[in-house]
C-alpha cells in the first residue's frame, strides 16, 4: 500500500539510500536536509525536497504536515575527528528529534523512527580490542561517547516517553558504522572504510608508498554495508516490536586488518604512518546481534570484504576523474 514518508537527513548517506529504496517501493517521499541541495548525496526531482533547519519547530511543523511515517536520520555528525571536536554542535541535534516528535503529535503521524548509534554504549565496556559484542542492555549504566553519544541516548529516551505518554509509535535503532558508495570520503566527516579507501586509492594514483593512520591501527570496530542497513532498518520499522535494537555486523576487525583487505582489493601495498595524537574513540566495539536474530530472524549478509570492494571501487572511480565528495551526479 502506498504511503507518504518523510525522510529527515535525506541529503545524507543513509538518508539518500533510504529515499531511493522507498521510492522504488512506490511510496511518496518528502525529503528534508539542512544542506543546500547541490550538496545532497542523492536527490530526486520528483520528490518534494526541502532545505531547512529542523532544529526549528516551525520547520518541523511544515515538513511533517500530511505525512504518515517519519524516518529521522538527521543529525550533525561525522567520523571520530568531527565527533570529538564538535561536542556542542552534536548535542544540538537533540532539538531536531524533540521538535519532530512534537510535530508528529500535532499532525497525527502513525509511526516515527529515530536513528541512534553505537556511541550510546558504556565506554567502560569498550576499553580493549576485540571486545565482546555490545548487547542492547549495555547502554546502562550510562557512560556514552561525550556529546554525540549523550544526544543519541537522550533522544532514545524521548522517543520512549512519547510512546508511553502520548501513544506515538516509535522505533529506535542503534547503528554500528554503516558504509558504502555514495557517501562522504573526504573533508573531515568521513568514517574509517571511506577514509582508508580514499587514502589507498590516492596513494596508488600518485605512486605514493605511505598513508597516515589514526592511532596504532589495533583499535577494532564492526562495519555494516548500506544494503544490509536498509533491509534491517525497514524490517524493524515495519514490525510490531517496540524495543531498541542493534543494527550492525558482528564481523569485528582491527583498522590494520581493514587496511590489509583494502590493499588486497586495490592490489597496492602501502606503509603505515601511525598518528598517535589523533582522536581514537573507544578501543574496541562490535555489535551483539542476538536480539534481532531471535526476534526477527535477521542478520547482515554482506561480508566486509565484499562491501569494501564495492566501496573502494566507487571511491577510486571518483578519484581517477578528479572528483571529491562535494561533486555527485544528481539522480
**Model pTM?**
0.94
d(CA 173, CA 283): 22
Domain over 4-178+224-247 is classified CATH 3.20.20.150 = no
Tens-digit pLDDT profile for residues 308-318: 999 999 999 99
**Segments in 207-278 forming alpha helices (H):** 226-237, 255-266
Domain residue limits, the chain: 4-178+224-247, 181-221+252-293+303-320
Q: Where does residue 233 rank: exposed (0-12), middle (13-18), buried (19+ CB within 10 A)?
A: buried
User: Would the pLDDT of 327 be above 60?
Assistant: no
pLDDT value, residue 325: 63
Percentage of the chain exceeding pLDDT 90: 88
Contact 256, 288 (CB under 8 A): no
Give yes or no: 71 in active site: no
Q: What is the mean pLDDT of the chain?
A: 94
DSSP state of 68: S
pLDDT value, residue 103: 98
Q: Which of 148, 179, 185, 245 is catalytic?
A: 148
The mean pLDDT value for 68-93 works out to 88
Choice between 279 and 33, residue whose per-residue pLDDT is larger:
33
pLDDT value, residue 81: 76
The 3-state DSSP class for residue 268 equals: coil
Contact 264, 201 (CB under 8 A): no
The mean pLDDT value for 38-58 works out to 97
The CATH architecture to which 181-221+252-293+303-320 belongs is Alpha-Beta Complex (3.90)
User: Would the pLDDT of 80 be above 80?
Assistant: no
Tens-digit pLDDT profile for residues 81-138: 787 888 999 999 999 999 999 999 999 999 999 999 999 999 999 999 999 999 999 9
pLDDT value, residue 329: 42
User: Would the pLDDT of 29 be above 60?
Assistant: yes
Amino acid at each position: 500500500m502506498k504511503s507518504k514518508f518523510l525522510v529527515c537527513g535525506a541529503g545524507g548517506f543513509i538518508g539518500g539510500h533510504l529515499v531511493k529504496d522507498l521510492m522504488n517501493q512506490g511510496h511518496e517521499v518528502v525529503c528534508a536536509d539542512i544542506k543546500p541541495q547541490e550538496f545532497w548525496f542523492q536527490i530526486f526531482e520528483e520528490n518534494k525536497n526541502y532545505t531547512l533547519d529542523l532544529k526549528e519547530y516551525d520547520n518541523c511543523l511544515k515538513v511533517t504536515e500530511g505525512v504518515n511515517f517519519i524516518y529521522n536520520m538527521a543529525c550533525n555528525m561525522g567520523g571520530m575527528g568531527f565527533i570529538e571536536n564538535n561536542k556542542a554542535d552534536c548535542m544540538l541535534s537533540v532539538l531536531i528529534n524533540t521538535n519532530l516528535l512534537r510535530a508528529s503529535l500535532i499532525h497525527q503521524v502513525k509511526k516515527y523512527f529515530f536513528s541512534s548509534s553505537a556511541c550510546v554504549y558504556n565506554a567502560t565496556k569498550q576499553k580493549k580490542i576485540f571486545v565482546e559484542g555490545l548487547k542492547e542492555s549495555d547502554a546502562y549504566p550510562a557512560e556514552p561517547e561525550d556529546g554525540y553519544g549523550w544526544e543519541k541516548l537522550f533522544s532514545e529516551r524521548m522517543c520512549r516517553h512519547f510512546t508511553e505518554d502520548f501513544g506515538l509509535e516509535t522505533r529506535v535503532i542503534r547503528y554500528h558504522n554503516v558504509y558504502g558508495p555514495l557517501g562522504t570520503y573526504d573533508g573531515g566527516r568521513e568514517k574509517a572504510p571511506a577514509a582508508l579507501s580514499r587514502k589507498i586509492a590516492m596513494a596508488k594514483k600518485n605512486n605514493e608508498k605511505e598513508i597516515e593512520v589514526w592511532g596504532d591501527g589495533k583499535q577494532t570496530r564492526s562495519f555494516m554495508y548500506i544494503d544490509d542497513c536498509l533491509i534491517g532498518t525497514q524490517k524493524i520499522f515495519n514490525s510490531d516490536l517496540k524495543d531498541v535494537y542493534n543494527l550492525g555486523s558482528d564481523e569485528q576487525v582491527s583498522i590494520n586488518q581493514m587496511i590489509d583487505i583494502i590493499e588486497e582489493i586495490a592490489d597496492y601495498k602501502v606503509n603505515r604512518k601511525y598518528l598517535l595524537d589523533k582522536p581514537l574513540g573507544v578501543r574496541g566495539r562490535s555489535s551483539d546481534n542476538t536480539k534481532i536474530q531471535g526476534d526477527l530472524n535477521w542478520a547482515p549478509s554482506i561480508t566486509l570484504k565484499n562491501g569494501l570492494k564495492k566501496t573502494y571501487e566507487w571511491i577510486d572511480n571518483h578519484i581517477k576523474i578528479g572528483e571529491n565528495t562535494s561533486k555527485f551526479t544528481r539522480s
